[in-house]
Amino acid sequence: MRSVIEDPEGTAHSLSALGRPAAGKTGTTSEHRDGWFIGFTPTLVAGAWVGFDDHRMMGSYETGGHCAGPIWLSWMRAATAGTDLEPWPQPPPGVTCERVNRNTGALANDNDPFAVRECFLSGTEPTPAQTADLPGSPDDFYQAPR
């Protein structure tokens, strides 16, 4: 959920203008009738919804990140003004976080463009051996054809 804002390709990257750790989820309903953004910082959660009561289309370019995101950003700026910048909490004991390929779930290499950080109960995270057994793993993609 952090990549929605932090990743330059994220659906709500413009909300990184908040200037503090934030994450969230955008949403757009069928035929662009509603747009929403639910976002949070380490200490605060807020959501914004945009749409018409009669279920009219908002317009074919209106998405949650585009129409509701700026409302969330404006509110969150006001709500966090003058407060200390809080970092994300660390995972609790018994939880391990790894970089994995978002398409395969395999461990990601350093050059994997689809790498995301996922958390697992310790002992359930993917291992290098499991990753090597996956057909089409990111490492296979970069090998020369035989």
Residue pLDDT, tens place only, 91-112: 999 999 999 998 898 999 989 9
The average pLDDT across 105-130 equals 88
| pLDDT reading at 135 higher than 70 | no
Cα–Cα distances in angstroms (integers) from residue 84 to residues 47, 80, 130, in the given order: 21, 8, 42
Which residue's structure tokens are 């585009």?
66
Q: Full-prediction pTM beyond 0.85?
A: no
Q: Check: CB of residue 20 under 8 Å from CB of residue 2.
A: no
- Specify the pLDDT at position 128: 82
Residue pLDDT, tens place only, 35-64: 999 999 999 999 999 999 998 999 888 888
Residue pLDDT, tens place only, 13-32: 999 999 999 999 999 888 88
* Mean of per-residue pLDDT scores for the chain: 87
Q: Of 59, 63, 6, which is closest to residue 37 (Cα–Cα)?
A: 63
Of residues 55 and 135, more confidence is placed in: 55
Cα–Cα dist 51/33, whole Å = 6
